Amino acid sequence: MHVCVRIPNLAARCKRLSWTGTKRRRRPRGAEGCHMGKRPATPAAGFALYWLTEILSFHAATAFADLGSMGAKLENVYFATLAAARIVAYAIVVLARGRSHEEGLPPVPAAAGATAAALSGLALVAGAITHTNAGATDPTALATFVTGAATLGAAQGVMGLAWASKLPLLSYRGSYLYLIATHVAATALVAVALLLPTSWLLPLTAVSLVTANACFAKLPRAERLEHTVREQAGDIAPLLWRGVLAVGVFAFVSGLVSSIARQGFDDANPVEFQFFTQGVSSVVLVVMAVPALVFHQPLKLETSYRVALPLSALGFLVLPGLIETVPPGLSGTLVTTGYMITGIVLYCMVGEASKIARVPALPLVAGVSCLTLICLLAGEAAGLALARHLVETGTSAAFMGLGGLYLVALAASWLVGRSDARKQSCAPLPTNVHRDSVRHGEKGGPGEHCDAERASAEGTDPSLSLEELAARYRLSDQESTVLALFMEGRTIPRIAQELYLSQSAVKYHAQKLYRRFGVHSRSELCGAVAQLRRERSERPFPENDLGSTYDLTAREREVLAGLSRGLSVTEIADDLDISENTVKTHVKRIYGKLGVHSKQEVIDLVQGSRPTA
């Protein structure tokens, strides 16, 4: 996340560390006020209307209430088709945009195409339901129904990606409140819509769909970003995999319980039950908004997991056969609410990761959504398979399911909330440990290298400065600052607090530093930096030695320096301010002169030529 750092002593610290930065600054996403166009109300209203359409036609079939009951079998086909169509659409987006630098979708063509497809899908589904309720059972009606549901699901899924790709324009807290506010607005609109005659619900759904897409068409076209998702996947994955795991667990449970709850219970009034569902959602959304509004601390993944777990567990308690007096549909509402809580947090995490990595959010959101929807669809399938047995066995099966959920949640909670606690840090040494003991290999604890860094910062160490090291490894300003604070013994939470960054942003920069220096932890990073700084600054770099030996040009030596530090072609082009094609040409020439065939061979060759003392 890009923020303006306002810390009085930070400039002094950086100066003391000989840290001025050498990279040229770029205008970050959302630097002009962090908004989505000149009229912020337009995207907010459009996104709220998008959620209204989703609530009426994706999360429930309320939009078709006036056409008669679908029945449990047809409802299962409807929801499974919607989910499957979105999975296919998301997979296509990932494949098509994984290597692209373009952010988002072109607003007008995307909105126009999605509107036409979604309206066609609504019409086909409505026609098939009417045909079926009239007593017709021919296969054509079912084929029409499935085609309409697939078209509607894919079109709305793509628009959901398009809206979510705008989240990097906001801060983590901003995107968190934006998602909650649009959900609350949509919930209020649903409450109003449910007061209308049921014959108005389908036209209202169509109007909200068209209006939402029209609002999206008014948004400005997104910028071209420096990196692609495929290039940065290795650095982004550590930030998101726990979130995907958590949401995947709740998605599976949501699909499982909702599918079971729909079996054999056709007498519930869909409009009345929708009122109840929106009431539960409203309470949860208000609870989620309080910490962000009052304490300026939106829920993080670990907290949201612990809030959502009781709701999902409670859903098992009201499964058919366990508590007879409670409507069975309530179980699906509870587990879906838990899914919603973690889903909102995951969307915020994806927006944050996209922003700090400078990659398009569209394929990232598509990939994450594809995985979670696969879990949802798997839960739906499991629910269909177990529904009959669950109804027959009642209490015992429900408690077995609850116990299984509890065990899965324990394992996932351990992975989500506890794995970072054991990571080592570069802790500072006591002041009585002299830097000479570190230079001569004496043991001084896990922070032995940091004492040498402080000695260098005070001007008593003639070794390689941090500024020179930053230039040598082509570090960005924020990477440089994070490295400097690591060398002072700061932890990731402390750095995030001092720089007004999210912990995800600091973790991302840490991952970049680990890859640049070929290490796997902060203590290894401190040790590697201390070792590099012990080399005399006047000693030529290994790539310069290779350049002289193999008769490389000045530009080829610069490209070789980038390759030896693990930089991609795009990063080297950005650093040297030349085109990627030019970099590729130099890389081919370097490979030919050095007699190597890959970047790893270049790195090995450079490492092998480094001085050992």
206, two tokens = 């169509």
- Same domain assignment for residues 526 and 383: no
pLDDT given for residue 78 in this prediction: 92
- Within-domain flag for 238: yes
- Same domain assignment for residues 170 and 187: yes
Q: How far is CA 98 from CA 102, 231, 235, 474, in A?
A: 10, 9, 15, 25
> Is the distance from CB of 508 to CB of 235 less than 8 angstroms?
yes
Check which CATH number belongs to the domain holding 385 and give it: 1.20.1250.20
- Same domain assignment for residues 55 and 96: yes
pLDDT given for residue 144 in this prediction: 92
- Same domain assignment for residues 230 and 87: yes
> Is the distance from CB of 23 to CB of 475 less than 8 angstroms?
yes
The predicted model scores a pTM of 0.70
35, two tokens = 């908004």
Q: What is the DSSP string of 165-217?
A: TTGGGS-HHHHHHHHHHHHHHHHHHHHHHHTS-GGGHHHHHHHHHHHHHHHHH
- Within-domain flag for 416: yes
* Residue from 139, 126, 370, 379 nearest 262 by CA: 379
Cα end-to-end distance, the chain, whole Å? 40
Domain end, chosen from 485, 501, 533, is at 533
Q: What is the DSSP string of 254-284?
A: HHHHHHHHHTT---S-HHHHHHHHHHHHHHH
- Same domain assignment for residues 417 and 445: no
Contacts of 183 (CB under 8 A, 6+ apart): 48, 51, 281, 285, 340, 344
Residue 224: beta bridge partners?
Answer: 102
> Is the distance from CB of 170 to CB of 292 less than 8 angstroms?
no
Q: How far is CA 420 from CA 132, 265, 506, in A?
A: 55, 45, 13
- Same domain assignment for residues 100 and 180: yes
157, two tokens = 């899924």
* Residue from 578, 584, 548 nearest 563 by CA: 584
The owner of tokens 């290039």 is 231
- Same domain assignment for residues 435 and 416: no
497, two tokens = 């607090």
- Within-domain flag for 49: yes
- Same domain assignment for residues 265 and 309: yes
pLDDT given for residue 480 in this prediction: 82
According to DSSP, residue 537 is labeled: T
Domain that holds residue 469: 426-533
- Within-domain flag for 321: yes
Work out whether the CA dihedral 471, 476, 478, 479 comes out positive or negative: negative
* Residue from 339, 368, 377, 374 nearest 256 by CA: 377
Q: Which residues of 506-529 are buried (b: 16+ CB within 10 A; e: fewer)?
A: bbbbbbbbbebbebeebbbbbbbb
Domain count, the chain: 3
- Same domain assignment for residues 375 and 443: no
Q: Which residues of 318-327 are buried (b: 16+ CB within 10 A; e: fewer)?
A: bbbebeeeeb
How far apart are alpha carbons 392 and 182 in whole angstroms?
Answer: 41
* Residue from 513, 251, 483 nearest 368 by CA: 251
Check which CATH number belongs to the domain holding 579 and give it: 1.10.10.10
Backbone φ and ψ for 102, nearest 5 degrees, come out as -80, 130
- Same domain assignment for residues 407 and 454: no
- Within-domain flag for 31: no
Residue 125, CB-side half-sphere exposure with 13 Å CA sphere: 33
3-state secondary structure of 359: coil
Domain end, chosen from 422, 441, 472, is at 422
pLDDT given for residue 32 in this prediction: 39
Ramachandran assignment for 508, one of left (phi > 0), alpha (psi -120 to 50 degrees), beta (any other): alpha
- Within-domain flag for 15: no
Domain end, chosen from 400, 422, 444, is at 422
- Same domain assignment for residues 331 and 473: no
Q: In order along the chain (613 residues), what is the average pLDDT of each group of 10 residues?
A: 38 38 42 50 91 91 85 85 95 92 89 96 92 69 92 96 90 90 92 90 95 93 84 84 86 82 61 76 88 85 76 65 56 79 90 87 94 91 75 55 57 52 42 35 40 44 65 77 84 78 79 80 80 58 67 83 79 80 88 85 72 43
How far apart are alpha carbons 269 and 291 in whole angstroms?
Answer: 35
- Within-domain flag for 499: yes
- Within-domain flag for 169: yes
pLDDT given for residue 543 in this prediction: 59
- Same domain assignment for residues 569 and 503: no
How far apart are alpha carbons 509 and 479 in whole angstroms?
Answer: 6
